[in-house]
Structure formats: structure tokens, C-alpha cells
């Protein structure tokens, strides 16, 4: 994975909070920014992912005890 340099403008209070958290977690600001951005992208992708819905239907009483001879007469 290649890292690139970029300039980011954030609110001063957010930077101070991030610096405090980085010290507490013994991580860098870069680590926290990358983790936050990855989480955001992953959550957005999940929102866009199509959910498969399996619809069920009531077919009436179960007929588990039926055998072939119940449907077909002897030929």
C-alpha cells in the first residue's frame, strides 16, 4: 500500500481532540485519519449494497407423510 501526501483542513477543536486520542491510543494522527476514512467508505458501501430479501409463502398444512404411491397409481 502506497501512502501519498495531501493537505487537509480541519477544525481546530477536532485536531486537538484527535491529538489527545492519538496520544492515549499510542497512534499517529495519520493512523486515526486513515482508520476513520476507511470506516466511512466501508459504511457507505454497505448502505449502497443491495439486500437480498427472501419472501416466504404459507403453503398450508405440511404433507411430510406422503409417498409416491399417494400421487401415482401403479402402471
Query: What average pLDDT values come out for the chain (75 residues) when binned by 10 residues?
Result: 90 95 95 94 81 84 78 73
How many structural domains are present in the chain?
1
- Minimal CA–CA distance to 5: which of 41, 30, 38, 22? 30
Given this model, what pLDDT does residue 67 score? Answer: 80
Predicted model pTM:
0.57
Given this model, what pLDDT does residue 75 score? Answer: 60
Ramachandran quadrant class, 26 (left: phi over 0; alpha: psi -120 to 50; beta: rest): left
Residue 26, domain extent: 10-54
Rg (CA), the chain: 29
C-alpha pair distances (Å), 20 with each of 13, 23, 27, 28, 32 = 11, 5, 10, 10, 11
Amino acid at each position: 500500500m502506497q501512502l501519498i501526501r495531501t493537505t487537509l483542513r480541519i477544525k481546530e477543536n477536532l485536531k486537538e481532540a484527535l491529538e489527545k486520542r492519538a496520544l492515549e491510543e499510542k497512534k499517529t494522527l495519520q493512523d486515526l485519519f486513515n482508520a476513520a476514512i476507511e470506516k466511512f467508505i466501508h459504511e457507505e458501501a454497505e448502505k449502497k449494497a443491495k439486500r437480498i430479501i427472501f419472501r416466504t409463502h404459507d403453503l398450508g398444512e405440511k404433507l411430510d407423510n406422503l409417498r409416491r404411491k399417494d400421487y401415482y397409481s401403479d402402471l
